[in-house]
Amino acid sequence: MKEKIGWARIFRLLDGALKEKLLPSVSLVAAENPDPYRILISTVISLRTKDEVTKKAADRLLSRAPDVEKLAALDQGVIEKLIYPAGFYKTKAKNLKKIAFILIRDHRSRIPADRDILLTLPGVGRKTANLVLNLGFGIQAVCVDTHVHRISNRTGWVKTKNPEETEKALMEILPRNYWIRINELLVILGQHICTPISPRCSICPITEACIRRGVRRSR
């Protein structure tokens, strides 16, 4: 990170520039009701799926299965139809059905507030587990998706090869009070400004904190 700017200023600039932008789909679900079950289901659906598709699919499924028991009672084919056209909807439906049974059998139908346990659930990786901890339980964790990984490296805050390395690196340099918020803000920034190809550097709120690593073309 450039010496002349600190984390507090970076987050103030991001907040000011992005406050009018639409929240990511799972954040919208959490804003309506931060129930860990809803966060888990929505995040599983969100993987490799556009936000607008995720939100509608999550709303359809959660309206039919507002709790773990009702999800377990749905046929897999019904789940598939409810979450279609989410990416890999058949695999996700199968995993959601399995998750419901595991939660009923092993966790009294409750979502565990434990990353290691969450990671044992089918279809749940570190991004999903950390987002459930963040939005469902208010537990500090750094959730790294493709946007967070790309932007953290592009700015020069970290130099890592994959999201898991980025998570560990950010945990070392980022104050804990920003751990939850960095995902939401960088996802919005990555969707609208710091895009994978030809980022809109001319309107980026944090250019003073960015070395533009790997950027060959920008707008």
How many whole angstroms separate alpha carbon 145 and alpha carbon 211? Answer: 20
Helices in 109-175 by DSSP H: which ranges?
115-118, 126-131, 137, 146-155, 163-173
42's CB contacts (< 8 A; 6+ apart) are 25, 26, 29, 54, 55, 58, 62
Whole-number CA gyration radius for the chain: 18
How many whole angstroms separate alpha carbon 49 and alpha carbon 136? Answer: 21
Q: Which residues are catalytic?
A: 127, 145
99's CB contacts (< 8 A; 6+ apart) are 40, 44, 71, 121, 122, 123, 124
